[in-house]
A and B are shown apart, each in its own frame.
Chain A
Amino acid sequence: MKGSRMLALLLAALMVLAFMPASLADEEPIHISVAGYMFGPIDAEQDVITPLIEQKLKDDHGINVDIEVVYVEQANYAEIINTRLAGGTAPDIFLAQSATTLQSYYDQGVIKTWDEEFFKTNAPHVYDFIMAGAAYGDLAPYVDQWKDASMIDGEMCVVPSFKPDGSMPYKTLIYRGDWLEKLGVTEDQLPKTVDEFVALMTRFAKEDPDGDGQDNTYGMSVTAMKALFGAYGLGEEGFAGGGNGIFVERDGKLVNSDVTDEAKEVVELLTKMYADGLIDPEFVNGRESVEGSYWAISHGMVNGLYGASANASIDHYRLKGITGPADEGGRCANEYWAVNGEDSTFVYAPWPAGPNGDYGWVVGYAVAVSESAVYNADMDDEKLAVIFQIMDAFATDDDLYMTAAYGIKGEHYEVNDDGTIGRNGLSNEDLNLVGVWGCRSLYGADRAFSQTSYDLVFYKDPSIANRLNWFKKDQYNSYIQNAVSVTLPSNDLFAELNTIRDEAWVNIITGKASIDTWDDYVAAYMAAGGQTLQDEANAWYSGK
């Protein structure tokens, strides 16, 4: 009896204690749920980072928030978010994975909009950092593009990412090193013109570069065609792979690169190359990876079916200790070595130049809305203001940023002598479990808008500096860009247009249709929406 009374008293005391913090707190914390890019789920039991961030925000910045990290599987991200939007249970902060998705969120009215002044007031340091061209002013030429990309119909609705490595070409042209060696082609003899490129493709196809005595090789497949489009100043982002063509300027007007005379010339050249047996007939798949496997791996090139590919970025082909960390190659590089042997080689190649001296490939946008955060339209302006104040806190408080992006110093990361970060052997998934990256979309798309975060990711990392230097060399660099830096209102028409383009071009290249059908194709393309998009592009362009 006595024991149970004691227990009752104890429980009562506990209850009072439990309610104490709530009654003592001057204000209820603002609840913010965030579903950013994560490598795996977060474990509420092990999560040490999120409470730490909440504490630091409260103590050092006077921002009282309750952060809820929501894990959404990357593979079905858009579908899951769309379903939750329809059900009214979407998180406060989520990602628009592409410009088209952003446009449809905007059209549907599910995301918050604000004006530039609002952003400037609540995140003054972030705003100034961006307007000054980010770290070291390197991105000053892209400031206008950043502003364009952040708005739809003159209203801001996204804070796009802003990154110096955006001046690197999106894809890198790669040749098989062993084939070049067999054919006696040295590095300074690599093709620098279209004619030389076609000649090398011919040698890859006809001179038995794999040395098995059989005529079973090709020059290239679908992705190396980029080199030829680039040589004519075009940027077919997705021929046979479904992506959109870019807009290029011709006589002061914007035209879609898919219907230019230059595109016709390239298709004609490809038709001849196909007839000569230089192109793998399976190029019509639009991809070089086997269905169901990692998209960036060119299985045809890795397995010695053809010798040239531009399927992946230099990041995928990181060389140990040169363009990547000493102990870790790129994902495609690892596959290449696994199949062809540890000492097998591949070569980063210069882009061949065309008749007018053009070369290269679409540069990988310094400004990108993909992976950038958008904000649920259900929230009020006060909450959005707090979210931008948090973004500003991350930009000014390096300790806060390091905790969110790298974890606790000594436990989750170390700073190496050269200033780079060591991960203590922890994988991305391990770090996600304890809460690292959970707050990612609170500070920016990929990293905080601060000198420190840019230094860590880009400028202090020697392998990234090497990559950037690599692309400063002549004909390795690139400058082709989409002349339109906004999402056009009728962007969704591209789906049908890309089908029309892919089909027409494949039919011509494989000899099922004559090049004389080109004008019919252009007419069909313009009628199915090409004209609408072109008009919208020019209306935007003339208003600039």
Chain B
Amino acid sequence: MSASDFRIGPRNRQNPLLRFLRSFVGYKRHLTLTLMFLPVVVYFVTFKYVPMGGIIIAFKDYKIKQGILGSAWSQPLFANFIKAFNTPTFARSVTNTLAISGLKLLFGFPAPIILALMLNEVVHERFKKAIQTITYLPHFLSWVVLAGMFQQLLSPNNGAVNAVLQRVFRMKDSIYFLGDNRYFRGTLIVTDIWKNVGWSSILYLATIAGIDPMLYEAATVDGATRLQCTRHITLPSLAPTIVVMLILSVGSIMDAGFDQVFNLYNTAVYQTGDIIDTYVYRYGLGDMKYSLATAVGLFKNVIAFVLVVVTNMIAKRISGSGIW
């Protein structure tokens, strides 16, 4: 093997092993930079990769006193999974999780993009800042506080929303948004968008701010309308960010929002609102059922991982950009 094998060239680029070996030469050459990066590696290995070994709890009958390695293996090995999957409400909680997450993705994902595009068109700087601040403030309120608010606002008895529906729109009966299976998911989606739309739009606004103004100037000179500018300059420039965010969102599709659902749901809407996380919570996470909780968590993560890989593949094929 001669030194020329490590030189950057089209031939070597095809060979992963050589490319891997060559990178060490690079590490040595930039020793200072490598050393600076070392703490990051240590951090990730210690706090992110080593703890992953903990997932074996899912296959054990974990007892605190005996420790992770000392606890006996489950009999059979998948006992914790079988126990979780066999309870009557588990299947429903998976369906509900996917339905709620799917709807959130469908409506909640485009919302901040649309808001960012709209804000971008606002000329009055003060007005724009005001809107931005107002829309991202709800992000800082916890769902416990918001749940109290929404229960009041959406109450069928004395809630403001029903009062408006009845007095202004002349509706006869009041709607129990949080206690009716027909409305519950919709209410979750709308309140979720309201809470997060402003915060999520910050990233898109930052990307838009980075677009070269010359592009707009050139387009304007060529006679493009504002709508055409948005369609042919802003959106294409946003595309890579959108793709990354989409992949990340798909990765969290098994998380339908525990805080939100747990604080807003009630017995009457278990049918449409009971998700995996609320199921695990009720099933006794507080009662030291670590093995069961880990099993369900692992189940969720495996699905999420597969979804991320698939989405990334599709995104790369269609748009050419992905997260790896």
Chain A residues packing against B (C-beta within 8 Å): 78-79, 82, 85-86, 100-101, 104-105, 107-110, 216, 240, 242, 280-282, 284-286, 290-293, 305, 377, 492, 495-496, 499-500, 502-503, 506-507, 510, 524, 528
Contact residue among B148, B263, B286 (Cβ-Cβ distance under 8 Å from A78): B286
Q: Measured between alpha carbons, how far is A499 from B201 in the docked complex, in Å?
A: 38
Task: Give A78 to B288 CA distance when docked, in angstroms.
Answer: 10
Whether B148 contacts A502 by the Cβ 8 Å rule is no
Interchain nearest-CB distance for A308 vs B (Å):
16
Verify B286–A79 contact, CB threshold 8 A: yes
Checking A101, A291, A496, A502 against B88 with a beta-carbon cut-off of 8 angstroms, the contacting residue is A496
Q: Which of B88, B268, B287 contacts A284 (CB 8 A)?
A: B268
| Contact of B157 with A by CB under 8 A | yes
Q: Cβ of B65 and Cβ of A492 under 8 Å apart?
A: no
B89 touches A240 (CB 8 A): no
Contact B64 A110 (CB under 8 A): yes
Interface class of chain A by DSSP: helix
Also in contact, A285 and B266, with CB within 8 A (given A104-B288, A291-B144): yes
User: How far is B113's CA from A311's CA once the two chains are assembled, in angstroms?
Assistant: 46
Of the candidates B148, B274, B284, B289, which one forms a contact with A293 in the assembled complex, judged by CB atoms under 8 Å apart?
B148
Instruction: Answer whether A510 and B64 are a contact pair too, CB < 8 Å, given A282-B155, A291-B144, A291-B148.
Output: no
A290, B152: Cβ atoms under 8 Å? Answer: yes
Q: List 28 A-B contacts (CB under 8 A).
A: A79-B286, A82-B288, A86-B64, A108-B63, A109-B63, A110-B64, A216-B158, A242-B282, A284-B179, A285-B151, A286-B267, A292-B144, A292-B145, A292-B147, A293-B148, A305-B158, A495-B283, A495-B284, A496-B89, A496-B282, A499-B270, A499-B282, A500-B88, A500-B89, A502-B267, A503-B270, A503-B271, A528-B88
| B65 contact from A285, A305, A377, Cβ within 8 A | A377
| Across the A-B interface, the 5 shortest Cβ-Cβ residue pairs | A284-B268, A291-B148, A292-B148, A502-B267, A291-B147
Contact string against A for B residues 81-95, beta-carbon threshold 8 Å, 1 for contact and 0 otherwise = 000000111000000
Q: Taking A282-B156, A292-B147, A503-B271 as given, write out 5 further A-B residue pairs in contact, using a Cβ cutoff of 8 Å, ordered by the A residue number.
A: A104-B287, A108-B63, A109-B65, A499-B270, A528-B88
- Decide yes or no whether B258 CB sits under 8 A from chain A: no
Query: Is residue B176 contacting chain A, with contact meaning CB distance below 8 A?
Result: yes
Bound: A506/B266 CA distance, A:
10
Give the number of residue pairs across the A-B interface with Cβ within 8 Å: 96
CB-contact partner of A506 in B147, B268, B289, under 8 A: B268
For the complex formed, measure the closest distance between the CB of A88 and the CB atoms of chain B, giving whole angstroms: 9
Kindly state the separation between the CA atoms of A101 and B287 in the bound complex, as whole angstroms.
6
Say yes or no: A281 contacts B147, CB within 8 Å: no
A109 to B72, CA, bound (A): 14
User: Complex: how many Å from CA A86 to CA B67?
Assistant: 8
B133–chain A nearest beta-carbon distance, Å: 25
Of B147, B176, B263, which one neighbours A282 at CB under 8 angstroms? Answer: B176
Closest to A378 in B: B65
- Asked whether, in the complex, the Cβ of A524 is within 8 Å of the Cβ of B88, the reply is yes
B274 surroundings in chain A (CB, below 8 A): 499
Residues of chain B contacted by A216 (CB below 8 angstroms): 157-158
Structural contact, B289 and A281, CB atoms closer than 8 A: no
Contact at B267–A240, with CB atoms within 8 Å? Answer: yes
Q: Which residues on the B side are within 8 Å of A286 (C-beta)?
A: 266-267
Contact B268 A496 (CB under 8 A): no
List the A side residues contacting B63 at CB < 8 Å: 107-109
Contact with A along B134-152 (1 / 0, CB 8 A): 0000000000110110011
Given the complex, which residues of A lie within 8 Å of B152, measured CB to CB? 290
CA distance A110 to B64 in the complex (A): 7
Q: Which of B142-181 contact A (CB under 8 A)?
A: 144-145, 147-148, 151-152, 155-158, 176, 179
Q: In the complex, which residue of chain A has the Cβ closest to the Cβ of B156?
A: A281
Interface centre among B145, B156, B179, B287 (most CB of A within 10 A): B287
Residue of B nearest to A505 (CB): B267
Q: Which of B156, B268, B282 has the most CB of A within 10 A?
A: B268
Q: How far is the CB of A91 from chain B (nearest CB, A)?
A: 15
Q: Is A284 in contact with B65, judged by CB distance below 8 angstroms?
A: no
